A and B are shown apart, each in its own frame.
Chain A
Amino acid sequence: MTTLTGTGKLVRLILRRDRLLMLWIPFVALVPISYVASINEIYPTAAARQQYADASMNSAGFVALYGRPFGSGLGELVAWRAGFLPLIVGLFSLLTVIRHTRTEEEAGRRELLGATVVGRHSGLAAALTVASGANLVLALLMGAALAGQGLPVAGSLALGVGCAAAGWVFAAVGGLTAQLTEGAGGARGIAVVALGAAYVLRIAGDLAGQGEGVLSWLSPISWVLRIHPYGEGSLWVLALAAGLTAVLAVAAVALSARRDVGAGLLPARLGPATAAPGLRTPLSLAWRLHRSLLAGWMAGFAVLGVVLGGLADSIGDLVHDNQMQDILARMGGKGGLIDAYLAGIMGLFGLIAAGYAIQATLRLRSEESALRAEPLLATSVGRLRWAGSHIAFSVLGPVAVLAAAGLAAGLTHGLNTGDVGRQVPRVLAGALVQLPAVWVLAAIAIALSGLLPRLAPAAWVALAACLFFGLVGPVAQLGQGLMDVSPFTHIPKAPGGAVSATPLVWLVLIAAAIAATGLAGLRRRDIPTL
């Protein structure tokens, strides 16, 4: 079939380009291992697990996040806790496919390849192949990892395949939406909305009742959870997922055959013929370039805030046996436990928000390498003013993003406990107190962009280090000296902990100094540096 010529070559090209990105596969595949250990440790007996399962069944927050547990066996609980993984896998899969289809096309690279010996559907086929293959690897890895923990092999594989099935469906969704719009952003938007809709339907179906809610059967995310690994093992559900994947993939190919390279099926929207009066400064331009990214992050954080804040009140209910009650009492009772949970969540929000800060800051660099900075800097816009227009988003964007999470979590938790007036400011403060550490990471990205522009993406390495210290450090019992390297180590635990201004002021000063160094470099160097 000539329309598929060169698919193999493209597959290899994608694999080479995505070497590092593919690390999400082992990462996601190994996540459930940690559940085995923690469930074994906290609920060692069958009775404790039964209680845990019952309590979770009746907690709306848990049901919303993970679905309903099918039983109280170790495997069933692990599978239940892994219930949000299909969402993650689906997201990565659709992003991968769009990245290698519409993004390529938008950048004009598809035309370049299209002129060589590459068939008309090869790009789509290669992207789908890679995404499906990646999910297969994920299924096998997850199955092997869980079987390695002593869980039944068949159930472990079923769990892995369930996650992979979500990946297959949404890879095909990505392939389809990539045919619709001219811009990759639009295609991603539609696909993510579809994924979100599937997740919301899943939640609604699960909350609707014990019985099989009709809504659940409308959601592919729900299907794969209904495989019921380590229990019934209803593998026939996979046929639904496979069928949908096939239908979507065929539709994507059909649409791809009907359109021109570079064009989308949905008509490209036209913009205004003249600029609005407000579009006259670098900052107003930066707003146009950053607003959808910022809105996306705020929405994501708000949703996370609602979900995780909604869980807070049920945290205390999960502790039943006496030994745990003792520990709980020492932590300041149920309130103390909830505060510790909320503070932990806020720390996590801080780390993730630093990802936004870095992403926003690196726009500076991508504007430069895409040669869009040059024409601006050849107008009366000075370098610092140009850089400042983007840095405004690295500095104030995290404020908005964290405020969204803090408000959403505080409000949800407040409504659950009937104490909105007290919880909202406490939780919001817990979110905002993360800012100085977030700014330090933004400052690192600024410094790299100014001084070592080619290495600017290394700012992500700094964040990875902070993640490592924050998530693995306490478990691995790294020395305090090492832990102190991460700015997040110095952030007070709030709500619940004592907040002292000293470390916050220091962090802000450090961030300012690092950023200033970077800006000094930016003023002196050649632009563009490619």
Chain B
Amino acid sequence: MTEAIRAEGLVKAFGRTRALDGLDLTVRTGEVHGFLGPNGAGKSTTIRVLLGLVRADAGTARLLGGDPWRDATALHRRLAYVPGDVTLWPNLSGGEVIDLLGRLRGGLDKRRRADLLERFDLDPRKKGRAYSKGNRQKVALVAALASDVELLILDEPTSGLDPLMEEAFREVIGEDRGNGRTVLLSSHILAEVEALCDRVTIIREGRTVETGTLAELRHLTRVSIQAELAGPADGLAALPGVHDLQAQDGRVRFDVETGALGAALRHLTDAGVRGLTSQPPTLEELFLRHYDRTGTPGEKHAEVSR
């Protein structure tokens, strides 16, 4: 089996809200897959469908070769889930929750548990009610990461963590990748996704808008070019794929789609190039393009630089 998760055409409506509207998602076995989308895009809902907690109105989903709704309990032995909102039982200690959840899955690796507690700097003796948001998140993370499972489903796992702990999380997931675990990681944090993920799916309003490796996705984005020219660059604005052209005193600034880069550069050299800077597309750019609900892609082109 080479696909850990395959969802096609998922539709889910909650009353009038269409949380999922024909969503596709494929996660290959052994990869770390980033799952991105603005608030309310349907990330958590997708994950709940994959866990058999919520039943999709239409579409198909396969998880570890099984049907997530019908085979839920059997499949759940092979995966660990960290919800977006972690709430704990007020009168159970963090250590008790970690052990209980581990036992209810496939089992828990004791050494790894101890190691993770140390790395996340978590006191397992505190009662559930006494933990801060970040520490509740850590309890769920330790429980999931120390479990003997093939698949991790993490819904915004670092949302409450401080930067130090985010770093610890990245390290742990990086090591996990070496062990052949599959990870589905929903996130808002681009640096995290760029650092960890092999492939990314971006969704918006319940639909998949982009999916692929980071390299492939960059391919879809635009490069920012600034050039000082010897002569006028007439006709540049008319080239397909060139956007937001500004020209002044022999300087031009524009964004160009990666596919049209060659043609644009030829046009510039014809005019005589004195100076040239180009900025590679960042994931943020990609992200902003898809996150921006109002503008059509491109109009809000990135002022973001890294």
A: residues with CB less than 8 A from B are: 106, 182-183, 185, 268-276, 279-282, 285, 288-289, 292, 370-372, 374-382, 524-528
Contacts and interface: CB of A to CB of B under 8 A. Distances in A.
A275 B95 contact: yes
Contacts of A273: 93, 95, 124-125
Interface in B129-161: 129-130, 140, 153
A526 B83 contact: no
Contacts of B89: 285, 288-289, 372
Contacts of B126: 268, 270-271
B127 A269 contact: yes
Contacts of B130: 182, 268
A375 B54 contact: no
B125 A275 contact: no
22 contacts: A106-B129, A182-B129, A183-B129, A185-B91, A268-B130, A269-B127, A270-B127, A271-B92, A271-B96, A279-B96, A285-B100, A288-B89, A292-B91, A372-B88, A372-B89, A378-B83, A379-B76, A380-B74, A380-B77, A382-B72, A382-B73, A524-B55
A370 B95 contact: no
B297 to A, nearest CB: 33
Contact of B96 (A274, A282, A528): A274
Interface stretch (B101-109, B162-170, B200-208): B101-109
A280 B87 contact: no
A274 B91 contact: no
B59 to A, nearest CB: 15
B298 to A, nearest CB: 37
Interface string B51-66: 1011100000000000
Contacts of B92: 271, 285, 288
A375 B140 contact: yes
A124 to B, nearest CB: 20
A526 B96 contact: no
Contact of A183 (B81, B90, B94, B96): B90
A266 to B, nearest CB: 13
A379 B85 contact: no
A281 B104 CA distance: 7
A379 B105 contact: yes
Contacts of A380: 73-74, 76-77, 104-105
Given A275-B100, A372-B87, A372-B89, 6 more contacts: A271-B92, A279-B96, A371-B85, A375-B86, A380-B73, A381-B104
A374 B53 contact: yes
Contacts of A528: 53
A367 to B, nearest CB: 9
Interface of B: 48, 51, 53-55, 72-74, 76-77, 79, 81, 83, 85-96, 98-101, 103-105, 124-127, 129-130, 140, 153
Given A380-B104, A527-B53, A288 B81 contact: no
A371 B87 contact: yes
Contacts of B83: 371, 374-375, 378
Contacts of B140: 375
A372 B83 CA distance: 10
Q: How would you classify the secondary structure of chain B's contact residues: helix, strand, loop or mixed?
A: mixed
A161 B108 CA distance: 61
Contacts of A268: 126-127, 130
Interface centre among A268, A289, A380, A527 (most CB of B within 10 A): A380
Contacts of A379: 76-77, 101, 104-105
Contacts of B53: 374, 377-378, 526-528
A270 B93 contact: yes
A527 B124 contact: no
B73 A381 contact: yes
6 residue pairs, one from A and one from B, having the closest CB atoms:
A271-B93, A275-B99, A379-B104, A378-B81, A270-B125, A275-B96
A95 B46 CA distance: 41
Contacts, number: 116
A289 B83 CA distance: 21
Contacts of B87: 370-372
A372 B128 CA distance: 12
Given A271-B96, A274-B96, A275-B95, A280 B103 contact: yes
Contacts of A374: 48, 53, 83
Contacts of B103: 275, 279-280
Given A374-B83, A378-B51, A382-B72, A274 B95 contact: yes
Interface centre among B81, B88, B99 (most CB of A within 10 A): B99
A344 B53 CA distance: 46
B53 to A, nearest CB: 5
A272 B99 CA distance: 11
B66 to A, nearest CB: 13
A345 B74 CA distance: 49
A179 B100 CA distance: 32
A269 B93 CA distance: 10
A288 B90 CA distance: 11
B96 A272 contact: yes
B125 A272 contact: yes
A270 B93 CA distance: 7
A186 to B, nearest CB: 10
Nearest to B55: A526
A376 B52 CA distance: 12
A274 B90 contact: no
A382 B140 CA distance: 20
A183 to B, nearest CB: 6
Contacts of A280: 100, 103-104
Nearest to A264: B130
A363 to B, nearest CB: 11
Contacts of B85: 371
Contacts of B91: 183, 185, 271, 288-289, 292
Contacts of B94: 271
Given A270-B125, A371-B87, A378 B96 contact: no
A29 to B, nearest CB: 35
Contacts of A292: 91
B7 to A, nearest CB: 16
B14 to A, nearest CB: 8
A279 B72 contact: no
Contacts of B124: 273-274
A41 B72 CA distance: 66
Contacts of B88: 372
A527 B54 CA distance: 6
Contacts of A269: 127
A270 B30 CA distance: 39
A270 B140 CA distance: 19
Contacts of A382: 72-73
B104 A376 contact: yes
A527 B92 CA distance: 23
A382 B129 CA distance: 26
A380 B75 CA distance: 8
A279 B83 CA distance: 22
B19 to A, nearest CB: 11
A274 B89 CA distance: 15
A380 B51 CA distance: 11
Contacts of A182: 129-130
A208 B127 CA distance: 44
Contacts of A381: 73, 76, 104
